[in-house]
Amino acid sequence: MAMLEVKDIHVYYGMIHALKGVSFEVNQGEVIALIGANGAGKTTTLHTVTGLLRAKRGSITFEGQDISRIPAHKIVQMGIAHVPEGRRVFSQLSVFDNLKMGAFTRKDKQEIAESLEIVYRRFPRLEERKNQRAGTLSGGEQQMLAMGRALMSRPRLIVMDEPSMGLSPILVNEIFDIIKVVSESGTTVLLVEQNAKKALSIADRAYVLETGSVTMEGRASDLLNDEKVQKAYLGE
């Protein structure tokens, strides 16, 4: 049984039918990429998985439990962390307080301190700036903070929405290296990306979303070599 099973979800914004029966699976330990053009419904899909939006139809199961009716603030507790599109760090709070917010649902002080240690080791830049207000960080640093904050909940599944958006090529590489490390340390990854080439190169499997429906799926390496994918998403 897959860790996350999304079955035929339909999501609306008022009259707009944004997701028209999306289905996909994420297995324990995988890196899954979700690619697609602007407005395809990638963010909508992630929001529905983590409870910020409700599906009108369909089901979402995480580790065997139906989570499609569970509010967002409880889903984190169940082990899914969400790195939102555009970072959404708390700009008035310090880097340290942002990371503490990431551990909001956890109680054990000792364990939280250990997680903080791990995050600082993974993102030394955040430790250097721990007392700085998050709003004053650079775009790349904010992305690292958003990822660090999500890791502070010690998720079993982390979903990331365009973590490389707006970053310089060097930083993009850095972010993808970190995603690999996160995955190797045992966290399952569901990754939404515009940068399809990069995403497919680190993913195990991938799904292509077009105007609210999954139109292609398969092994990432196969999609990378697929002519249609190359034309539409890899600019080749």
Partner 1 sequence: MMSFISYLISGINLGSVYAIIALGYTMVYGIAKMLNFAHGDVIMVGAFVILTAITKAGLAPWMSVLLAIVICTLMGITIEAIAYRPLRKAASPLAVLITAIGVSYLLQNLALLLFGADAKSFVTIINVPNVSLFGGQLTIKGITIVTIIVSAIIMTVLTLFVKRTKPGRAMQAVSEDKDAAQLMGVNVNTTISLTFAIGSGLAAIAGLLLCSAYPTLTPYTGSMPGIKAFVAAVFGGIGSIPGAMVGGILLGIIEIFGRAYISTQIADAICFAVLIIVLLVKPTGLFGKNVQEKV
Ligand X SMILES: Nc1ncnc2c1ncn2[C@@H]1O[C@H](COP(=O)(O)OP(=O)(O)OP(=O)(O)O)[C@@H](O)[C@H]1O
Query: Which residues of this protein are in contact with partner 1, per CB under 8 A?
Result: 50-52, 71-74, 76-77, 81-82, 84, 86, 88-93, 97, 100-102, 104-105, 135, 137-139, 142, 149, 153, 166
Residue 95 or 192 with smaller CB distance to ligand X = 192
Contact 126, 99 (CB under 8 A): yes
Beta bridge partners of residue 32, listed in sequence order: 190, 205
Question: Quick one: DSSP state of residue 184?
Answer: H
Question: Binding residues for ligand X, per CB under 6 A?
Answer: 13, 16, 18, 36, 38-44, 85, 194
Residue 95 near residue 134, CB atoms below 8 Å: yes
Q: How far is the CB of 112 from partner 1 (least distance, A)?
A: 12
Which is nearest to 205 in space by CA: 192, 216, 220?
220
139 binds, among Mg ion, partner 1, ligand X, none (CB under 5 to 8 A by kind): partner 1
String marking each residue 35-54 x if it binds Mg ion according to CB under 5 A: -------xx-----------
**CB of residue 101 to partner 1, shortest distance in Å:** 5
155 binds, among ligand X, partner 1, Mg ion, none (CB under 5 to 8 A by kind): none
Under 8 Å between Cβ of 187 and 4: no
Amino acid at 31: V
Helix H or strand E encompassing 116: helix 109-122
The neighbouring-strand residues paired with 94 are 133
The residues that touch Mg ion, with contacts defined as CB under 5 A, are 42-43, 85
